[in-house]
Amino acid sequence: MSDKTIFQRIIDRELPARFVYEDEEIVAFHDAFPQAPVHVLIVPRKPIPSVDDLEDDDVSLVGRMILLAKSLAEELGLTQGYRLVFNCKRQGGQTVDHLHLHLLGGRHMHWPPG
Ligand code: DGP
């Protein structure tokens, strides 16, 4: 049994996913359990477990993830707005321990998120 996370297995092409973007640092693919008409996960290839594990050297990587979210939102037609979410650890709602940014859109988002 592999100790890789599901996302590492997707990055390594051991599991299928509907990719919308990839480069040498970052991949993006559709969430398998979408919570909105558009629900894309933006994932660094580097296996950082969570936001809590980010270091100063990761500043540009995280910046690129956010700018990629912006350009994917435009590409996917989210002209009315969208939500970006980093869940961090169990109480923050994180279930996969490989850093990822959720891009959600295509419906009105509520606040507080619950
Ligand atoms: P989080 O709860 O923040 O750790 O988000 C994990 C997301 O990953 C959740 O929205 C569901 C999604 N997910 C879980 N398993 C798979 C999978 O095998 N493939 C894809 N594409 N998404 C998955």
Q: Report yes or no on 67 lying in a domain.
A: yes
pLDDT of residue 78: 98
> Which amino acid is located at 85 in the chain?
V
Q: Provide the mean pLDDT of the chain.
A: 97
Q: Taking a C-beta distance cutoff of 8 angstroms, is the pair 2, 94 a contact?
A: no
When pLDDT is cut at 50, 70 and 90, the band that residue 114 belongs to is: confident
Of 23, 22, 6, 3, the C-alpha closest to 14 is 6
Q: Which residues are catalytic?
A: 100
CB-neighbour burial class of residue 88 (10 A; exposed 0-12, middle 13-18, buried 19+): middle
Distance 95 CA to ligand 1 centre (A): 7
As a whole number of angstroms, the distance between CA 71 and CA 53 comes to: 26
| Residue 94 belongs to domain with CATH number | 3.30.428.10
What domain range is 82 assigned to?
6-105
Residue 91 lies in a domain: yes
Pocket test for ligand 1, best of 18, 30, 41, 101 (most atoms within 8 A of CB): 41
User: Considering the domain boundaries, does residue 1 fall inside one?
Assistant: no
Whose CA is closest to 45, among 30, 68, 56, 61?
61
Q: Is residue 113 part of a domain?
A: no
Whether 84 is covered by a domain: the verdict is yes
Q: How confident is the model at residue 47 (pLDDT cuts 50, 70, 90)?
A: very high
Q: How many domains does the chain have?
A: 1
Q: Please indicate, yes or no, if residue 114 is contained in any of the structural domains.
A: no
Percent of the chain with pLDDT over 70: 98
In this prediction the pTM is 0.97
Mean pLDDT of 53-68: 98
Q: What is the pLDDT of residue 1?
A: 58
Predicted local confidence at residue 80, as pLDDT = 97
61 falls within a domain: yes
Q: Is residue 110 part of a domain?
A: no
State pLDDT tens for residues 20-36: 999 999 999 999 999 99
User: Residue 19: its pLDDT value, please?
Assistant: 98
